[in-house]
Structure 1
Amino acid sequence: MELHVRYEGDDDPEKCTARKLARFDLAALHRTGRETPAGVVLNPHAERALSPADDTDMLVALDCSWETAGRAMFEIDGEHRALPFLVAANPVNYGQPFQLNTVEAFAGALAILGRWERAEELLSKFTWGHTFLELNEEPLRRYADCEDSSEVVAVQQAYLDAGED
């Protein structure tokens, strides 16, 4: 599966997971929306959740600071899908729900799409990478067993409801 990143370059280059993926030839970086190919775009503002029904050959992520990640930043061609509830394992946002960095977003999407080994491959480049799959193993496997977006949302809601107790 091809991985493409619309790269803004507005975060710390030392902590940028997209740049590291590109260095290992695991993802392609694109500086403009026009040069970014259309695929399934991982967009936290999307109205539909990513599900196994979105099986695709290409994932696209936006790499930018969370401070600038507004809706307008995600004007990228393709089918936009939101990742369901997942918890960040990266050192910057550890334990924060929905605050994933680029490699975590790709890994979560790959796991939901049934490509667990590819998710592990990406995360293996980061000392904390295995922690992402450990923290999120149960929900990722449950999301991967869903038929469609509505089932993913129902599973997500169960996690959110459990957190309110």
Structure 2
Amino acid sequence: MVKLYAYMLEQDDPSKCTSSKLCRFGLAERVGKPFRRLRQAILLNPFAPKVLSVQDRLRAERWGIAVVDCSWEQVREVAWKRFPGVHRRLPLLLAGNPVSYGKLARLSSLEALAAALYILGFKEQAWRLASLYKWAPKFLELNMEPLEAYSSASSPEEIRKIEKEFFPGLVD
């Protein structure tokens, strides 16, 4: 089982915060401030230049995956460089959460972690996370084809090609 971490910036409604629920159920560890011990973990960062791929699997197994839980309205203001870790962005996916349903790449923290786990081959753990919300399994179902393709890709370059196939005109 991959260790999951959530940096909580507390910018959203706490009752709708998916990271809070993950932590309450013991599926993720709440992290209050950037910790050096997470410097080897994968940090999901929507602005990272390098895309998450199966090449990151061993790092995730050993060090875990971290997410910064913040509001999409304030995401550009986050000081991403102050968070330790190996920064990776997720490949393009459609949101399945009620707030951003169908919007490209506007995932909740739970969706981001579930997608990362799925892409890295930890599919059972991804489905376990998704079981916390009624809408979350729909996220995995909505993105099943790209998720399967991304999880089969052997490199970040191959993932970029797959992104272009599924989301033409949206990737350089």
Instruction: Indicate whether the TM-score tops 0.5.
Output: yes
Q: What corresponds to 1:65 in structure 2?
A: 71
Question: How big is the shift at 1:79?
Answer: 0.8
RMSD between aligned alpha carbons?
Answer: 1.7
Moved over 6 A (4+): none
Pair 1:88 & 2:95 matched: yes
Instruction: Tell me how far apart the structure 2 counterparts of residues 44 and 148 of structure 1 sit (CA, whole Å).
Output: 18
Q: Count how many residue pairs are aligned between Structure 1 and Structure 2.
A: 164
Alignment of structure 1 residues 14-163 onto 2, 5 Å: 14-34=15-35, 37-38=38-39, 39-55=41-57, 56-57=60-61, 58-70=64-76, 72-75=78-81, 76-161=83-168
When structure 1 is superposed on structure 2, of 65-74 and 85-94 the one drifting more is 65-74
AA aligned to 2:46 is P
Instruction: Tell me how far apart the structure 2 counterparts of residues 65 and 141 of structure 1 sit (CA, whole Å).
Output: 28
Instruction: Tell me how far apart the structure 1 counterparts of residues 152 and 35 of structure 2 sit (CA, whole Å).
Output: 34
Please give the per-residue CA displacement for 1:76-111, whole angstroms capped at 9, x wherever unaligned.
Answer: 111111101101110000110100000000000000
DSSP-derived class of the 1:161 partner: coil
TM-score (norm. length: structure 1): 0.94
Runs of 5+ consecutive residues of structure 1 not aligned to the other structure: none
When structure 1 is superposed on structure 2, of 142-151 and 30-39 the one drifting more is 30-39
Is 1:30–1:36's contact at 8 Å kept on the other side of the alignment? no
Question: How big is the shift at 1:37?
Answer: 1.9
Instruction: Tell me how far apart the structure 1 counterparts of residues 45 and 77 of structure 2 sit (CA, whole Å).
Output: 9
Is 1:124–1:130's contact at 8 Å kept on the other side of the alignment? yes
Instruction: Tell me how far apart the structure 2 counterparts of residues 139 and 162 of structure 1 sit (CA, whole Å).
Output: 16
CA 13–35 in structure 1, closer or farther in 2 if over 3 Å, else same:
farther
Identity percentage over the alignment? 37
When structure 1 is superposed on structure 2, of 122-131 and 66-75 the one drifting more is 66-75
TM-score (norm. length: structure 2): 0.90
